[in-house]
């Protein structure tokens, strides 16, 4: 498992924590570690609920780790398959959103069955620092399914 994914058990609950400072972003190793954590929770008959959260207090997950952009062609499809798996998971998956959720982090939150949020700091991207990229892991479809067509601003 990746050093960026921590798993803790509390009774029948598996808590999967994204721990990739500073923003819990997704590089290939983190996606693969998360994939293993989810597979382990799925096959463990004692686990009845999975809680996904981010380490720290400011960021649930910020999406793609731009330092691993060379692997984006692997990260996107792996993430898409993994998010789809979570969306269809037989055990309840709860996103404990403890800060901002951007890009793939928002997509992960949307594919979880339940989302519980804290007040997150606002994020201003008007300074032009947000790189443009195609949403690869189902954000546009899942947002509409979660909030409805009228509220989805896609």
Q: Exposed (0-12), middle (13-18) or buried (19+): which is 10, by Cβ within 10 Å?
A: exposed
Of these residues, 3, 8, 46, 130, which one is catalytic?
130
- The string of DSSP codes covering 43-105 is H-TT--EEEEEESSSSEEE-SB-GGGGGGHHHHHHHHHHHHHHHHT-SS-EEEEE-SEE-THH
Tell me whether residue 130 is one of the annotated catalytic residues.
Answer: yes
Tell me whether residue 3 is one of the annotated catalytic residues.
Answer: no
Q: Which residues are catalytic?
A: 107, 130
């Amino acid at each position: 498992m990746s050093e960026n994914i921590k798993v803790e058990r509390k009774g029948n609950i598996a808590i999967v924590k994204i721990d990739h400072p500073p923003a819990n972003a997704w590089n290939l190793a983190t996606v693969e570690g998360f994939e293993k954590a989810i597979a382990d929770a799925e096959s463990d008959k004692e686990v009845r609920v999975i809680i996904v959260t981010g380490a720290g207090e400011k960021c649930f997950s910020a999406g793609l780790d731009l330092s691993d952009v060379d692997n984006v062609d692997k990260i996107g499809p792996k993430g898409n398959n993994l998010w789809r798996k979570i969306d269809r998971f037989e055990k309840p998956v709860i996103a404990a959103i403890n800060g901002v959720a951007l890009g793939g982090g928002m997509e992960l939150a949307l594919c979880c069955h339940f989302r519980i949020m804290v007040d997150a700091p606002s994020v201003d991207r008007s300074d032009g620092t947000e790189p443009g990229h195609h949403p690869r892991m189902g954000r546009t479809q899942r947002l509409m399914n979660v909030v409805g067509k009228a509220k989805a601003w896609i």
